[in-house]
Amino acid sequence: MDIPGKSLKEISETLPGTGHKYMEMDLSQLSQHSKIFEMAQSMAPLAALAHCAAVSRRRADVDDVTEADWDIQLDTNLKVTFFLNRAARTSFRSHKSTGSIINFVSQAWWSGGYGGSVVYAASKGGVVSLTKGLARAFAEDGVRVNAISPGGVDTPMMVSDQTPEALAKFVSMIPLGRLANPEELVGAVLFLASDASSYVTGTVMNVSGGQLMY
C-alpha cells in the first residue's frame, strides 16, 4: 500500500507465488483506512500490520523548518500511525482474532535528530510512545503492538536529499560501515508478526547496524 501505484505494481511482480494485491491510497485520508483491512481480510484472516509509511523534510538548521514541514511530518508519521493502528485493532476485533502491529520508527527517536531533522525525530519519538501506550490498550484484545527502529536504510528517503559528504559522514557513524538493505529488516518483521514473539509487546527492536546502542 502506497501512493505511487507504479512502484507497487513493480514490487508485486517480483514476489514469489500469485494472488498478491496492492492498493493505492493516501493514508492522510483517515476514513479510507478501513478499506485496507477489508481487502486484507477478503484474502485471508489478518495476522499482522507492518506500518512503515513516513515522510522526512530534512533541513540544515532548526530556523529553516517551516510550519508546513512540521505539519506534514507530524500528520503523516504520528497522526496516521494512531488512526491506522486503531483501524487494525478494530479489524482484528470484528473478526474475533488476535494479531500483531509493527510500527517503524527510527534511531532518531533516541538521538533527537540533528539540526532541522529534529521535527522528524520528534514525530518518531511520538510513535515510540504511541506504540507503548497502544500495546497496553490493545492487550485485552490479544493484539500486540511493537516497533522496529532501523538505522540508515538504503532507500530514496534516506539518500535522495543528502550530499555525498553528508551521507558518508552518516555512514561513518555505523559500526557495520554501511547502510542496511531493506531486505535486512524482513527478519525482524517476521519475528514480531509471528507466534515466535507471542509474549513480546510494547517493545522497540533496534536494527541499526550498531549505530544505536543503549
Helices 67-74 + 118-138 axis angle, to 10: 30
Set of cell numbers at residue 167 = 551521507
**pLDDT tens digits along 165-205:** 888 988 998 999 999 999 999 999 999 999 999 999 999 99
**How far apart (Å, rounded) are the C-alpha atoms in residues 201 and 138?**
10
| Sequence spans of domains, the chain | 47-207
Determine contact, residues 85/134, Cβ cutoff 8 Å. Answer: yes
Q: Which residues contact 106 (CB under 8 A, 6 or more apart)?
A: 120, 121, 124, 149, 150
Grid cell 494472488 is found at 19
**pLDDT tens digits along 21-37:** 888 889 999 999 999 99
pLDDT at 11 > cutoff 90? no
**pLDDT tens digits along 62-77:** 999 999 999 999 999 9
**Where in the sequence numbering do the catalytic residues fall?**
120
Average pLDDT over residues 140-151: 96
Chain centroid to Cα 56, Å, comes to 12
Residues in the chain: 214
The class level of CATH for 47-207 reads alpha beta
